[in-house]
Amino acid sequence: MWDAKGPCGGTIGGGRTSHAKLRRAAEAGSVIVVSEQTAVELRSVSKTFGPVRALVGVSATFRPGRVSIVFGPNGSGKSTLLAVVGTLARPTSGTVSHGSLGRSRADVRKTLGWVGHDSLCYPDLSGRENIELVARLHGLDPAAAFTRARDRFGLEAFAERAVRTYSRGQRQRIALARALVHDPKMLLLDEPTAGLDTASTDRLVDAVNEEASAGRVVVVVTHDTAFADRIAGDRIELDRGRVVQATHAA
């Protein structure tokens, strides 16, 4: 559910005490609690960079099992919102709760898959080596991780070449494959269709829907309305750091 006031009309604050209160209220039958433990929840989040107000009083709930799409013009705060959700930026004020994804930033980051503006790949390593490296960092079998990624994202034509020789679309494909190596519980994608051709966009749509169906929290920042139209999910629109519209899928 997207609700600028939060799922309970803004009457219930973050933190352990209010969760206990909420649970007692639920047991008494006065409220209904839905996926309360696993949703990522922002309450009145603001983020300033010097004089720039990148986010202003943003409240939103990102639920597991559905895709949340974030729209808005350049500079409206989309990437900042993603960074706050992914614990890569601390809010200047307000609260962020990651529910069962983890209490500490380190715990949350372990469960995070991220595709940002930069691919975060090592340019001198091949696509295969980049994927194997991430697998090793997560204590996974590198060869098995690569085979799985190659088959899911069709990487065979370029996986053995250095990433610096890739087209933007190829880099995006490796970045997505790399972000999913460790089966993250939360997947954050910033403008993921940039540079993708039709077949790669189709794969991306499938991957995004599959990750949501598997119960992940999936947040996608995009300008691409044709792509967004192919994904059922919640929508949030930002303008100058504020939520101007929020809808949730039936």
> Which residues bind to ligand ADP, rule: CB under 6 A?
49, 52, 54, 72, 74-80
Length of the chain, in residues = 250
Residue 91 binds what, of ligand ADP, Mg ion, none (CB under 5 to 8 Å, by partner type)? none
Amino acid of residue 188: L
> Tokens 């949030």 — which residue?
236
> Tokens 């691409």 — which residue?
224
Quote the least distance from Cβ 144 to Mg ion, whole Å.
34
Q: What is the dihedral of CA 161, 164, 165, 167, to 10 degrees?
A: 110
> Tokens 């947040």 — which residue?
219
C-beta separation of 12 from 44 below 8 A: no
Which residue, 52 or 144, is less far from ligand ADP as judged by CB? 52
Quote the least distance from Cβ 220 to ligand ADP, whole Å.
13
Quote the least distance from Cβ 74 to ligand ADP, whole Å.
5
The SS3 assignment for 24 reads: helix
The SS3 assignment for 48 reads: strand
Which residue, 8 or 120, is less far from ligand ADP as judged by CB? 120
Which residue, 39 or 58, is less far from Mg ion as judged by CB? 58
> Which residues bind to Mg ion, rule: CB under 5 A?
78-79
Which residue, 54 or 135, is less far from ligand ADP as judged by CB? 54
Residue 171 binds what, of Mg ion, ligand ADP, none (CB under 5 to 8 Å, by partner type)? none
- Give 201's DSSP letter: H
